[in-house]
Amino acid sequence: MKNFEQLGVKKEFIKGLVDLKIVNPSEIQLAVIPLLINSKTDLIGQAQTGTGKTAAYGLPLLHQIDPKRNQIQGLILCPTRELGQQIAKQLFKFTKYSEQIFTESVYGGEPIDKQISALSRPTHIIVATPGRLIDLVNRNVVDLSCVKTVVLDEADEMLSMGFQKELDEILGFLTTVENKWLFSATMPEAINLMIKKHISFGAPHITINSKNVVNKDITHQFSVCDESEKFYLLLQFLKSEHKNRGMIFCKTKVMAQTLSKQLIAKNILTDALHGDLLQKERDKVMRAFKNESLQILVATDIAARGIDIDGLSYVVHYQLPDKEEYYTHRSGRTARAGKKGISFSLVTPKEKKTLKFFERALSIDFLQIR
Ligand code: ADP
Ligand code: MG
């Protein structure tokens, strides 16, 4: 197996990777880095969450930046603020020992003025949510005319969040771009259309583990119970996990809020993350969860997308998602970077057939816990 140096990654970036304990390239990194590094091409990359897609595109992108030119040369589009900040942070760490490459992240939900003044400093790479980027472009405060590489990260989620029009618009005005790299955990029909429209015909399509979209380090478990017994079973499960950290998913924000209150009443350190929170409140919750003053995060699907937090031992599906893609995304919060994790579903007798469907669609096996 090749190491990062053999894949063509510069020594100065490798030093930054070592600090992050990234030593052996993951599958997607092995496949994608040699194709992208120092070459001009479009690419489609498909791999489950937690497989290291950020470095897979981030390292080749960094190689294409000329730090001496004070121009925006790379653009990364992603669905949420949290994800954008996470990506920018990773790139910053990769470049700890290299010539300075400046990345700025911009996103909605925060006063635009602060971001505008941040952009007046030298910036080589922008990480942006689509809506905010368009806003900045319309105000003429961001110059994308020198962008050579565009990355669409979590493209499936950007589409399901309704960013189709914004993405079309952005890709439409980026006429000088030489490389478009699209990454997605899943390939629903809307993504295929997007690819037909914007990615050059015949671009390499790298799929890692396509039959097994769900990470194999995850054990899938379920218990059958009535709605009224769920909370009790959840407490049993949490007890068996002792002080381990994890996330609990609900379908609705009302359920997420209610459940988080119920858990707090049991002296469990938790809070809820859902779409109705103000950006400031979201940040506060995320900070508390990251610095481990919260043990558990209760979340809705959209609010939690793409969040990369180390050391989560489990994910609980307090309410099953409607779509198998969401099951994959939820479960992908655990068992990151080669660690093991449990994905535990609480289902009513009626919902057992949804599990059967997930088993077939995702090629996974559920183990019943009684
Ligand atoms: P994805 O975007 O595919 O969901 P990320 O890029 O967010 O995955 O990476 C998930 C986690 O794995 C991060 O904490 C990252 O630092 C770590 N990671 C990435 N590549 C490697 C590697 N080759 N070896 C070990 N850890 C890695
Ligand atoms: Mg990612």
* Number of separate domains in the chain: 2
Domain boundary among 159, 182, 207: 207
- Residue 171 shares a structural domain with residue 240: no
Residue 5: inside a domain: no
Chunked in runs of 10, what are the mean pLDDT values of the chain (370 residues)?
Answer: 94 95 90 95 90 95 97 96 93 97 95 94 97 96 96 94 95 92 92 95 86 70 95 95 95 94 95 87 90 94 77 95 88 83 95 91 86
Atom of ligand 1 nearest to the CA of 154: 2
Residue to mutate, 4, 5, 17, 20, ligand 1, most ligand atoms under 8 Å from C-beta: 20
What's the CA gap between 37 and 355, in Å, rounded?
41
Residue 62: inside a domain: yes
Ligand nearest the Cα atom of residue 78: 2
* Ligand 1 midpoint to CA 337 (Å): 6
Q: What is the pLDDT, as a whole number, of residue 214? A: 57
107 CB neighbour count, 10 Å cutoff: 22
Q: What is the pLDDT, as a whole number, of residue 185? A: 87
- Residue 187 shares a structural domain with residue 282: no
- Residue 159 shares a structural domain with residue 282: no
SS3 128: strand
Residue 2: inside a domain: no
What's the CA gap between 202 and 303, in Å, rounded?
35
* Ligand 1 midpoint to CA 205 (Å): 20
Q: What is the pLDDT, as a whole number, of residue 212? A: 44
User: What is the domain-level CATH number for residue 66?
Assistant: 3.40.50.300
- Residue 95 shares a structural domain with residue 157: yes
Residue to mutate, 21, 23, 51, 183, ligand 1, most ligand atoms under 8 Å from C-beta: 51
Q: What is the pLDDT, as a whole number, of residue 211? A: 46
What's the CA gap between 362 and 370, in Å, rounded?
23
Residue 3: inside a domain: no
- Residue 264 shares a structural domain with residue 336: yes
- Residue 203 shares a structural domain with residue 244: no
Residue 4: inside a domain: no
Atom of ligand 1 nearest to the CA of 26: 23
Phi-psi region of 311 (alpha: psi -120 to 50; beta: other; left: phi over 0): left
In the chain, where does DSSP find H-type helix?
A: 11-19, 27-36, 53-64, 81-94, 112-119, 130-138, 155-160, 164-173, 189-198, 230-240, 253-265, 279-290, 301-304, 324-331, 352-362
Residue 213: inside a domain: no
Domain boundary among 186, 207, 228: 207
- Residue 30 shares a structural domain with residue 179: yes
Q: Return the H-helix or E-strand segment holding 297.
A: strand 296-300
Q: Which residues line ligand 1 (CB under 6 A)?
A: 20, 22, 24-26, 29, 47, 49-55, 308, 310, 336-337
Domain that holds residue 260: 218-368
- Residue 116 shares a structural domain with residue 245: no
Ligand nearest the Cα atom of residue 9: 1
* Ligand 1 midpoint to CA 104 (Å): 21
* Ligand 1 midpoint to CA 353 (Å): 33
* Identity of the amino acid at 153: D
Domain boundary among 166, 186, 207: 207
Atom of ligand 1 nearest to the CA of 48: 3
What's the CA gap between 262 and 43, in Å, rounded?
46
Residue 151: inside a domain: yes
- Residue 162 shares a structural domain with residue 64: yes
Atom of ligand 1 nearest to the CA of 153: 2
* Ligand 2 midpoint to CA 122 (Å): 25
Ligand nearest the Cα atom of residue 155: 2
Look up residue 225 and give its two tokens: 């119970």
Residue 93: inside a domain: yes
- Residue 168 shares a structural domain with residue 80: yes
For residue 119, what are the CA distances in angstroms to 63, 106, 136, 205?
A: 22, 9, 10, 33
273-309 burial code (b ≥16 CB/10 A, e <16): bbeebeeeebbebbeebeeeebbbbbbbbbbbbbbbb
Atom of ligand 1 nearest to the CA of 310: 14
- Residue 203 shares a structural domain with residue 66: yes
What's the CA gap between 286 and 235, in Å, rounded?
23
Q: What is the pLDDT, as a whole number, of residue 306? A: 65
- Tokens 């809070």 locate to 271
- Residue 201 shares a structural domain with residue 226: no
CA dihedral 301, 304, 305, 311 (to 10 degrees): -130
Q: Whose CA is nearest to atom 25 of ligand 1?
A: 22
Phi, psi of 257, rounded to the nearest 5 degrees = -65, -45
